[in-house]
Amino acid sequence: MNKLLTLSNISKSFDRDRVHALKKISFECDKGDVISIVGSSGSGKSTLLRIIAGLEIPDKGEITLDGNLINDNNTFTSAEKRDCSLVFQDFALFPNMTVIENICFGKKAANNETLIDELMEFTVITDLADRYPHEISGGQQQRVALVRALSNNPSLLLLDEPLSHLDLELKDNVRNELINLIQKVGATVLMVTHDTKDAMLMADKIIVLNDGQIDQINSPPKIFNFPANAYVARLFGKTNILPREHFPDISHHFFDLDFGKDVVSIRPHELKIVHKNVDTKIPTIKGKVVSVQSLGSYSEVLLVNDEIEVSANIENDQKIEIGSQIILTIDKK
Amino acid sequence: MIKPAGSKLGVGLSNSIIKIFRILRQEFLFKLNFWTIPAFLIGLFIFIPMAEVLSSLTTYSSNWTHLKDTVLFSYLSNSLILIIGTASFSLIFGVSCAWIVSNYTFRFRKILEWLLVLPLAIPTYISAYAYFDILELFNPLLIWIRTNIGFEIMQLVNNSLVYLVTILVMASVLYPYIYLLARASFIRQGKQLSDAARTLGHNSKSIFWKIALPMARPAIVAGMSLVIMETLNDYGAVKHFGVPTFTSGIFRTWLGMGDLTGALRLSGILMLLIFSLLIFEKKLRSRSKYHEILNSKPSSEKKLLNKNKSIIAICCCSIPLVLGFFIPVSRMISWAWISRNSASDLDGIELIGNSLGLATITSLTIVAIATFLVFSARYYKSAITYFSNRLAILGYSIPGAVIAIGILLFVAQVNHLTNYVLTGSLYLLIFAYIVRYLAVAWQPINAGIESNCDSLNHASQTLGSSAYTSLTRVNLPLIKDTIITAGLLVFIDTVKELPLTLILRPFNFETLSTATFDLSSQAQIAESSIPALYMIMIVLAPLIFLNYRLENIE
């Protein structure tokens, strides 16, 4: 059997049922998977991670880890007895212990000396062993926290916003390091993030959480190209949600409550300008340009007609003036 | 579909009940262990004396109608007058001094900032003895009023003077509670907001009233509730000046009239009053939202005062300091010098030993219990443990006399059931101190673990380490300083304590506080100054240390 983690119908509410943090969450995670849970803040993703780690007790539902039931109505395996490690958003390094003391703190770390040496060498923190957490940089603290969690040899590694505490420049480097490290140890990873870019770059599978419910589970390219609803579509970048009747050719569509009908998601880069004399079979959008914002290599153009408002990314070599009428067409199937 | 409002309410209520049951179920199924169960039980055990007093409200008392008709109203009104007066004067002293030393710079500012805490070393009853003859100063005035205006007016003036003096004497030693908290709040507010206000055209005066004071309100209210509790707790000062308050009424009903049930009933009513005050304060706080600005740089730049204004500032800060510390201490030193021969039968060494030993054992015990309780509740996030601990720390708001009565009642029941006599043992006295002062250690330790260790405890849990390892390797090293502070605070309070010690001490066992009280109630005020001075010296050392640490942190 390849299933490592199974959640079924996990629910949790706070503040005497006034806030439903999670509503009947169910998903599975295979051994070796890197899964990313994304969602805007308040979507319940951190609560979900804390429930899996055993730091929070759900109101209802079951969790199985590696074939063992760890949580249901009558069972609760406490955090210290669960075979998973959590890397905290603010790293939670013990300020009164040196780097090496932090890393060796885990209950099972004592038996894993060779693994610790290897991990420390791989992440280049061997020289920092005797420093205290406040004496090393944010990126280094991040690596120490990761090594500390991995030294316990968990079957599941949980990451809570692993890159959010780092500045932009550092982020790309650390992300690559993290991908390398995960591949090296072959860990199964469940990662919570609000940054969809991190999720796209690191995960095999993405779970989109919206207001305590799962909106979609799929691979990154599928989620980006075939979003289940407008929330998912918007979460992964700017997009135009337009009624489907204008674009019968586009196969992927979904029902949207705001419109009250079927809609399609067309990203700004999927639109291009056409001239009047093209084939009339291709669907087009005609309209008046209301704003043009240059963003370096391309411009963001906002087009309005009687029915819809569309944003498109147009390459800078095409001169467009505010107030002019243009025609856009879709570069997507 | 439109539902009637009633059914909506019913659904909400049943949801709440389901939720509470779910939480309780989880508590019992998953959170009971060798940490939370003892912590829960200890909390309940400490609450027993208070529960005894509260439950006595429903029992029958033959003298009660008499007490209710004669003295209850005057106890109530006198206590209220004292509370309002003492709180107001403490507020004026505390806030103005805190504002001056945290916002301006002038000659002697540093030393004044530091000296202003010292009146905390002086218990209210000792300050009262130091001013014992102050009322006599007004005798010529009273005689003049009697002969020229009338007897009734003289009585009125005399009464007002008694209250005014009692209030001033108490406020001048209690204001540091407000001063300390307000000063910390003013410093934490930082410069950012006052700079913003200045660029919007406000001057210092308007910044004080519109920004600094409202933002410091939670801290000031917290300080004021400490002042109020100490005022209600006082027995020595009110007895000395002859103001019949609730506390002195409890003593009089019980020891003077031998009416324990009546005293209990009075205690129960006082406790109800205090609890409603606490709830009112909580409501007040939760309705207004004031946020401390975190990460704002503390203001280090202070406005330089010119010579004239410096003199005014120095005078303002000196008034409470002179009233609350220098006058009492210097008078006592001179009396101690006068009575140095006649007080030779006073065994100073034994008294000091008793006070020091008792306070040391008490503070160690309380700190250990408080740490255990806080850690167990927080580490396992156990709601019922936390709840029982919240009950246990209520003792700090209850006057010592009330707690003593509750404990005696409890002891009598134990005696009745097991034939085991606890009365008059040191264990009982230490238990009483725990009931009264647990909160003094619990509050800072709880705050310390909450801010320093909660997330680290999660980390150590997910790394598979036991609660004991987390406590000894993570929590204790990180909150060591907080624990020392908490222990010293308990130590200071225990050395100064009077009513509990007076009632529950073993026969022939004297501490510095009881010796001071005994001597002065035998009208040997001059002789009582010797143990009083010893006490002040013992308390001053940890107080100065705490103050020094506090300033370094700020």
The nearest CA of chain B is from the CA of A97 a distance in Å of 9
Higher pLDDT, B448 or B260: B448
- From chain B, pick out residues whose CB is under 8 angstroms from the CB of A76: 26, 29-30
Residue B2 predicted with pLDDT over 60: no
Q: Hey, is the C-beta of A103 within 8 angstroms of any chain B C-beta?
A: no
Interface test with A, best of B462, B466, B471 (most A CBs within 10 A): B462
- From chain A, pick out residues whose CB is under 8 angstroms from the CB of B466: 80, 107
Query: Are B543 and B118 spatial neighbours (Cβ–Cβ below 8 Å)?
Result: yes
B369-384 pLDDT, tens digit per residue, is: 999 999 999 999 888 9
Nearest CA in chain B to A13: B19
- Identify which of A88, A96, A107 has the shortest CB distance to residue B455: A88
Q: Do B462 and A16 touch (CB under 8 A)?
A: no
B160-198 pLDDT, tens digit per residue, is: 899 999 999 999 999 999 998 898 888 877 677 777 777
Specify the amino acid at residue B510.
E
B59 half-sphere exposure, CB direction, 13 A CA radius: 16
Q: What is the CATH number of domain A3-83+155-225?
A: 3.40.50.300
Residue A108 predicted with pLDDT over 50: yes
The gap from C-alpha A87 to its chain's centroid, in whole angstroms, comes to 16
Residue A57 predicted with pLDDT over 50: yes
Instruction: Report the pLDDT value the prediction gives residue B295, as an integer from 0 to 100.
Output: 44
Q: Do B463 and A105 touch (CB under 8 A)?
A: yes
Q: What is the mean pLDDT of chain B?
A: 86
Question: Which residues belong to CATH 3.40.50.300 in chain A?
Answer: 3-83+155-225
**CA-angle at B400, arms to B396 and B80, nearest 5°:** 85
Instruction: Report the pLDDT value the prediction gives residue B294, as an integer from 0 to 100.
Output: 47
- If you average pLDDT over residues A227-232, what whole number do you get? 91
Higher pLDDT, A65 or B301: A65
The separation between the first and the last C-alpha atoms of chain B, rounded to the nearest angstrom, is 59
- From chain A, pick out residues whose CB is under 8 angstroms from the CB of B16: 16-17
A68 half-sphere exposure, CB direction, 13 A CA radius: 10
Q: Do B465 and A106 touch (CB under 8 A)?
A: yes
CATH architecture of A238-330: Beta Barrel (2.40)
Instruction: Report the pLDDT value the prediction gives residue B267, as an integer from 0 to 100.
Output: 87
Helix axis angle, B213-233 relative to B151-199, nearest 10°?
150
- Identify which of A55, A90, A97 has the shortest CB distance to residue B461: A55
The residue with tokens 């107001």 is: B88
The nearest CA of chain B is from the CA of A84 a distance in Å of 7
B224-240 pLDDT, tens digit per residue, is: 988 998 898 888 888 88
- If you average pLDDT over residues A59-84, what whole number do you get? 89
Residue B168: left if φ>0, alpha if ψ -120 to 50, beta else—which one? alpha
Residue B343 predicted with pLDDT over 70: no
Residue A333 predicted with pLDDT over 60: no
- If you average pLDDT over residues B133-145, what whole number do you get? 84
- Identify which of A17, A59, A152 has the shortest CB distance to residue B464: A152
Residues ≥6 apart with Cβ < 8 Å to A135: none
Torsions phi, psi for A286 (to 5 deg): -105, 145
Assigned token pair, A298: 């391309």
Residues ≥6 apart with Cβ < 8 Å to B47: B388, B391, B392, B394, B395
Q: Hey, is the C-beta of A81 within 8 angstroms of any chain B C-beta?
A: yes
Count chain A–chain B contacts defined by CB atoms under 8 A. Answer: 80
The span from the CA of A16 to the CA of B16, in Å, is 6
The span from the CA of B237 to the CA of B176, in Å, is 18
Instruction: Report the pLDDT value the prediction gives residue B554, as an integer from 0 to 100.
Output: 53
Burial of B389 (0-12, 13-18, 19+ CB in 10 A): buried
Q: Hey, is the C-beta of B473 within 8 angstroms of any chain A C-beta?
A: yes
The residue among A202, A284, A72, A60 whose CA lies nearest residue B19 is A60
3-state secondary structure at position A179 = helix
The gap from C-alpha A331 to its chain's centroid, in whole angstroms, comes to 27
Bridge partners, residue A158, by sequence: A86, A190
Query: Are B424 and B257 spatial neighbours (Cβ–Cβ below 8 Å)?
Result: no
Q: Do B462 and A55 touch (CB under 8 A)?
A: yes
- From chain B, pick out residues whose CB is under 8 angstroms from the CB of A71: none
Query: Are A276 and A327 spatial neighbours (Cβ–Cβ below 8 Å)?
Result: yes
Q: pLDDT category, B344, cuts 50, 70, 90?
A: low
The nearest CA of chain B is from the CA of A35 a distance in Å of 19
Assigned token pair, B363: 């503070």
The residue with tokens 């007016």 is: B153
Q: Hey, is the C-beta of A35 within 8 angstroms of any chain B C-beta?
A: no
- If you average pLDDT over residues A134-154, what whole number do you get? 90
Instruction: Report the pLDDT value the prediction gives residue B453, as an integer from 0 to 100.
Output: 87
The residue among B212, B269, B218 whose CA lies nearest residue B54 is B269
- If you average pLDDT over residues A276-289, what whole number do you get? 74
- From chain A, pick out residues whose CB is under 8 angstroms from the CB of B26: 57, 76
- From chain A, pick out residues whose CB is under 8 angstroms from the CB of B29: 74, 76
Assigned token pair, B146: 């009697």
Question: Which residues belong to CATH 2.40.50.100 in chain A?
Answer: 238-330
Q: Do B465 and A80 touch (CB under 8 A)?
A: yes
Q: Hey, is the C-beta of A90 within 8 angstroms of any chain B C-beta?
A: yes
Residues ≥6 apart with Cβ < 8 Å to A196: A38, A235, A236, A237
The nearest CA of chain A is from the CA of B459 a distance in Å of 6
Q: Do B456 and A92 touch (CB under 8 A)?
A: yes
Specify the amino acid at residue A85.
S
Helices (H), chain A: 45-53, 99-103, 113-122, 138-151, 168-185, 196-202, 220-225, 230-235
Q: Do A92 and B22 touch (CB under 8 A)?
A: no
Q: Do B30 and A94 touch (CB under 8 A)?
A: no
Instruction: Report the pLDDT value the prediction gives residue B297, as an integer from 0 to 100.
Output: 54
- Chain B residues 419-458 with a CB less than 8 Å from chain A: 455-456, 458
Instruction: Report the pLDDT value the prediction gives residue A170, as an integer from 0 to 100.
Output: 80
- Identify which of A55, A80, A94 has the shortest CB distance to residue B474: A94
- From chain A, pick out residues whose CB is under 8 angstroms from the CB of B22: 59
Q: Hey, is the C-beta of B466 within 8 angstroms of any chain A C-beta?
A: yes
- Identify which of A17, A79, A97 has the shortest CB distance to residue B462: A79
Instruction: Report the pLDDT value the prediction gives residue A1, as an integer from 0 to 100.
Output: 52
Burial of B244 (0-12, 13-18, 19+ CB in 10 A): middle
Other beta carbons less than 10 A from residue B41's beta carbon: 12
Out of A185-194, B182-191, B507-516, least confident range: B182-191
Instruction: Report the pLDDT value the prediction gives residue A188, as an integer from 0 to 100.
Output: 93
Q: Hey, is the C-beta of B30 within 8 angstroms of any chain A C-beta?
A: yes
